Structure 1
Amino acid sequence: MAVLKAATVITVAFLLILLMSYWAAGRARPVLDVATRTLLVKKGLAHAFIELGDGTVHYRLEGQPGAPLVVLIHGFSTPSFVWDNYFAPLRGAGYRVLSFDNYGRGFSDRPDTIYDANLTDRLVGELLDKLAPNEPAHIVGYSMGGATATIFAARHPERVRSLTLIAPAGLGVSTNENVELLKRRFVGDWIVRMFGLKIFHAEAAEQSKYAPTPARFLADFDRQMDYRGYGDALLSTLRNYPLTGADAAYAEAGQSRRPVLVIWGEKDETVPFANASRLMTMMPRAKLYSYAKLGHEITFSQSPMVSGLIAQFLNSQSDASAGATAPAMRLKARPDAVPAALPATEQAQ
């Protein structure tokens, strides 16, 4: 009896230690507040902030007032700094450029809510309401941002001039036993709360190898983890966001006559290039550029090429509206990895 009682006491004590450790880990990092954000701006690490319905959002907006607006939507875990090298070329091409940190990422708030498609859809809509009311925009989405862009276009067709989808999620993503473990209640919460930041850092360290300046990429990525709520937001996204299963939104958006550009690395191990065939079936007007030797990192590893493709795509819409022939659209992979330069007359291959 005494042994059983002792075992019970030890078990309860152990559970209390685990519970306290879990609670302490969740509160170990500071929250993002006004003073913190002011300091981030002063250091040149952040740009501007705006209050929306679900919280404060960090954004960057540059370009001539009145110029056509291009909205850049980042992916699952890496915030808006992934678009830093896109501002100069797109501004130079005559566009106003907007990027932002999704809730739970970068320097935006980490609201205690469900991180699903409705949350991101509200963010994009409210942000445009405040920064570009009554102005349809060219929407560019990378990875999870591609699903966000497509869902927004399906729900608000009048607000989207064109879509550019770079390795877009929503039709299926690679998964493994570790990801499935994180999706489990309690177990996943414990792992992310106690070890999540190390896991996310390790993944970003692998991605950073493809960045022009790996050390800066990793430092910018890690900075968002200095503040409370990042891991919890990613975990909620894994459980609630349609990284797979957004077929209906793609089909709905694909019924529009708006121009669609798709850019994909065929070695993508995160969002398989095999999804491209299904996407092109649902979006028959889309124009695909694929690259045989590139992977999921294409957005930041090849930013001059990708920003050039986007600028060419956007400019071709103006040419087409002026009476020029629109470029042909067909699904065929490019044999080369990265062309030294993309001729202005080259069509999708």
Structure 2
Amino acid sequence: MPLPYFTAAGETLTLDDQLRTRVRGEFVSCSAGVTQYELSGPTGGELVLLVGGLTIPLDYWDRLAAELHERGFRTLAYSGYGRGYSDRVQARYDETLFTTQIHDLLHTLRLTPAHVIGSSLGAVVTMAYARRHTAALRSVVIVGPAGLMRSRPLITRLLRIPLLGAILGAAFGQRLLQQHMSHNLRDPAATAELAAIVDPCYRVRGSMYALCSTITDFALTNRQNLYRAMRDTRVQTLLLWGEEDRVTPSDRWDEAFGLLHPRRAELIPQTGHMVSYERPHLTATIFTEFVATLERTPE
């Protein structure tokens, strides 16, 4: 049973055309709702699709996108439903919703990415999407991936009880969000910068419902079979993980490596959960080197 729709304290904005004229990006109608996106970088460069995690809007990718543009890549960033200024749809926030959003966005824009970079929950979405669209993909980058934990935390189990979940989400959702955000990055200054990007989006009505619905509806535990399925696609994979990740702890590194058999893997020291945000230059450098090895690989 899906979580009943609710609004939370502090959600004072209605997401409509007037609000969207005041924020960045372009907007396109997809099958479940309107999606915010930004296509940028050198025309003619290989397209890199950027798939975000549990809480983040498309702005999260700015640092990495700038680095990729300098290296000749084009990027497509977007906000998942319930994030940024994409619609807060009243639906199950499960794998199907998010993979269909990617399919709709690419189909509507008539774009085909050569590479996909997915972070955290977005890494799970990326793998789910990639295993069904292998023909055009040259590589997949998995960053601080979710999906390997064996059980859900108590709060997420409570949120799955529909009426109780709605009450808890409305009352304590902001606290849950802030706690999650505080664990993403090692540097307090970077945490404050990221909060300045994320927090305004959570003033939109239905944002906390979307977050809590994702926590309840999206399969984020025991996804080992998805990792194996990604390996079996034979799409070349790069695995990146922050050594000091406190959201998807890097003690799962060996398991992820064994399941994926990535072509290249890097455990980044002195880095937390958001490798792409904390280390954009290093991430882009590793990615570019990785892609170069693909170009040297015979068909």
TM-score above 0.5, yes or no: yes
Larger Rg: 1 or 2? 1
Determine helix, strand or coil for the equivalent of 2:233: coil
8 Å contact kept, 1:87–1:97 = yes
Determine helix, strand or coil for the equivalent of 1:168: coil
Distance 1:177 1:126 in 2: 34
**1:272-311 aligned within 5 A:** 272-311=249-288
| 1:62 equivalent among 23, 27, 40 | 40
| 2:199 equivalent among 211, 214, 222 | 222
1:29 aligns with 2:12: yes
| 1:189 equivalent among 159, 163, 166 | 166
Determine helix, strand or coil for the equivalent of 2:235: coil
Q: Give the direction of change, closer, same or farther, for the CA distance of 1:285–1:221 in structure 2 (3 Å limit).
A: closer
Distance 1:212 1:306 in 2: 20
Q: Give the direction of change, closer, same or farther, for the CA distance of 1:229–1:23 in structure 2 (3 Å limit).
A: closer
Q: Give the direction of change, closer, same or farther, for the CA distance of 1:253–1:23 in structure 2 (3 Å limit).
A: closer
Corresponding residue for residue 97 of structure 2: 119
8 Å contact kept, 1:150–1:249 = yes
Coordinate RMSD, CA, aligned: 2.4
Where structure 1 has 5 or more consecutive residues not aligned to the other structure, the ranges are 1-21, 41-45, 324-349
8 Å contact kept, 1:138–1:160 = yes
Determine helix, strand or coil for the equivalent of 1:125: helix
Amino acid at match of 1:226: R
Determine helix, strand or coil for the equivalent of 2:201: helix
Corresponding residue for residue 259 of structure 1: 236
Q: Structure 1 residues 300-309 or 202-211, which shifts more?
A: 202-211
Corresponding residue for residue 137 of structure 1: 114
Aligned-residue offset at 1:26: 7.4
Determine helix, strand or coil for the equivalent of 1:235: helix
Q: How many aligned residue pairs are there?
A: 295
Amino acid at match of 2:91: T
8 Å contact kept, 2:243–2:271 = yes
Amino acid at match of 2:234: R
1:178 aligns with 2:155: yes
Q: Structure 1 residues 71-80 or 109-118, which shifts more?
A: 71-80
Query: What is the TM-score normalised by the length of structure 1?
Result: 0.77
8 Å contact kept, 1:280–1:286 = no
Amino acid at match of 2:51: I
Distance 1:212 1:54 in 2: 36
Partner deviation per Cα, 1:206-233 (whole Å, 9 max, x = no partner) = 5466276443321211011110111111
Q: Give the direction of change, closer, same or farther, for the CA distance of 1:23–1:278 in structure 2 (3 Å limit).
A: closer
1:53 aligns with 2:41: no
Corresponding residue for residue 39 of structure 1: 22
Higher RCO structure, 1 or 2 (CA under 8 Å, sep 6+)? 2
Corresponding residue for residue 66 of structure 2: 88
Partner deviation per Cα, 1:173-224 (whole Å, 9 max, x = no partner) = 7853333333333222111112312431343255466276443321211011
Partner deviation per Cα, 1:121-155 (whole Å, 9 max, x = no partner) = 1011111112244x342000000010011111112
Determine helix, strand or coil for the equivalent of 2:140: strand
Determine helix, strand or coil for the equivalent of 1:139: strand
Distance 1:214 1:236 in 2: 24
Corresponding residue for residue 151 of structure 1: 128
Determine helix, strand or coil for the equivalent of 2:15: coil
Aligned-residue offset at 1:292: 4.2
Q: Give the direction of change, closer, same or farther, for the CA distance of 1:172–1:286 in structure 2 (3 Å limit).
A: farther
Q: Structure 1 residues 286-295 or 159-168, which shifts more?
A: 286-295
Corresponding residue for residue 176 of structure 2: 199
Aligned-residue offset at 1:98: 0.8
Amino acid at match of 2:81: Y
Percentage of pairs with the same residue: 27
Q: Give the direction of change, closer, same or farther, for the CA distance of 1:294–1:89 in structure 2 (3 Å limit).
A: closer
Distance 2:53 2:279 in 1: 16
Partner deviation per Cα, 1:54-93 (whole Å, 9 max, x = no partner) = 1111111112333211011111112222211012211121
| 1:231 equivalent among 201, 208, 231 | 208
| 1:248 equivalent among 225, 249, 265 | 225
Q: Give the direction of change, closer, same or farther, for the CA distance of 1:128–1:232 in structure 2 (3 Å limit).
A: same
Where structure 2 has 5 or more consecutive residues not aligned to the other structure, the ranges are none
